[in-house]
Amino acid sequence: MKTFYSSGKKLSEEITEYFKGSVSYSLANKLIRKKDVKVNGIRVKEDVKTLAGDKIEVYYDGEDSRANTVIYKDDNVLVVYKPSGITSEDFYSLLCKKHGEVGFIHRLDQNTDGVMIFSLNQYAEKELLNGFKRRTFDKYYLAEVVGTPEKPSAELTAYLVKDSEKSEVKVFDRQVEKSEKIVTSYTVLRSSGETSLLEVKLITGKTHQIRAHLAHVGHFIVGDGKYGYESVNRKFKAKKQRLTAYKLILAFDRGSAMEYLNGKEFTCKASWLKI
């Protein structure tokens, strides 16, 4: 347990500032919801506004277990599982605290869990960034979507426009102003009629691409509150989007010192998937 005194901000802000980055905003709110926080000796379950001098007690040891899920590590790379509910930036901060300085290579959406890779030296960082930029790496996702796609497998092409102010994107069948071409392929692994489990491969990698592209063709991801429908999500009791970056396959140029990782598959399980 940690005890400290408020400066008069919202409880979540007081907690994140006290722990100096080892507790993210989402984790602070989780601790509050679980009633692991007391204000002046009373357990709270909401992110209340505190008063200067309030006594705050947090039942937390200061180590975030979300940084402990290492899939693979060597002298060049660190491959880990990122849970949903935390931004890639906050997750990166946790990893740096646990493993020392690592190189930030790519992102996953806050509510998407799955495999992420980080570099452990400048050479590896350069090679990884180059691989992602040139799209020589294969990135596969598992997604549960509403309905059953007409084709058992297909490569979808469309055009995406990003709206930074609304933190969302729009997808069009034809090229429009400020749009970028997106390509997404999928294979239906199984279907119940109401929903289908897809393996999705990213050919291009744009913001919210999988979520928005699948929704555009009529098969939004179960649990997606931004591009889907809450009434449908409630029907399937999905509080989180069922999308996981479950497999990453690397491919470096011949002669690269990273070539020993070519063809190696880094995988994880989807937390929402019931086998």
* Buried b / exposed e along 71-94 (16+ C-beta atoms within 10 A): eeeeebbbbbbbebbbbbebbbbb
pTM confidence score: 0.79
Domain with residues 141-244, CATH architecture:
2-Layer Sandwich (3.30)
Q: What is the pLDDT of residue 186?
A: 98
Which residue's entry shows tokens 């479950």? 246
Q: In whole angstroms, how far apart are CA 94 and each of 67, 89, 244?
A: 6, 9, 20
Give the pair of three-digit tokens for residue 258: 């990273």
> Residue 154 burial by CB count (10 A; 0-12/13-18/19+): exposed, middle or buried?
middle
Tell which CATH classification among 3.20.20.10, 3.40.980.10, 3.40.50.20, 3.30.2350.10 matches the domain 65-137+250-267.
3.30.2350.10
H or E element in which residue 271 lies: none
Q: Which long-range contacts (CB under 8 A, 24 or more apart) does 36-42 make?
A: 36/60, 37/11, 39/6, 39/11
Q: What is the pLDDT of residue 164?
A: 87
**Position 64 confidence tier, pLDDT thresholds 50, 70, 90:** low
CATH class of 2-58: alpha beta
User: Do 12 and 25 meet the contact criterion of CB atoms below 8 Å apart?
Assistant: yes
d(CA 260, CA 254): 10
What single-letter amino acid sits at 66?
R
d(CA 139, CA 88): 17
Mean pLDDT along residues 62-82: 88
Longest dimension (CA), the chain: 62
pLDDT digits (tens, 9 = 90+) for 172-230: 999 999 999 999 999 999 999 899 999 999 999 999 999 999 999 999 999 999 999 99
User: What is the residue-wise DSSP string for 20-79?
Assistant: TTSS-HHHHHHHHHTT-EEETTEE--S-PBP-TT-EEEE---S--GGG--EEEE-SSEEE
d(CA 179, CA 216): 15
Please indicate whether the domains covering 2-58 and 65-137+250-267 agree at the CATH topology level: no
**Domain range annotation of the chain:** 2-58, 65-137+250-267, 141-244
Q: What is the pLDDT of residue 222?
A: 97
d(CA 81, CA 207): 20
User: Do 160 and 204 meet the contact criterion of CB atoms below 8 Å apart?
Assistant: no
- Whether 68 has a pLDDT exceeding 80, the answer reads no
What's 259's DSSP letter? Answer: G
d(CA 198, CA 195): 10
Q: What is the pLDDT of residue 1?
A: 85
d(CA 84, CA 110): 6
Among candidate residues 56, 52, 65, the one with its CA nearest the CA of residue 16: 56
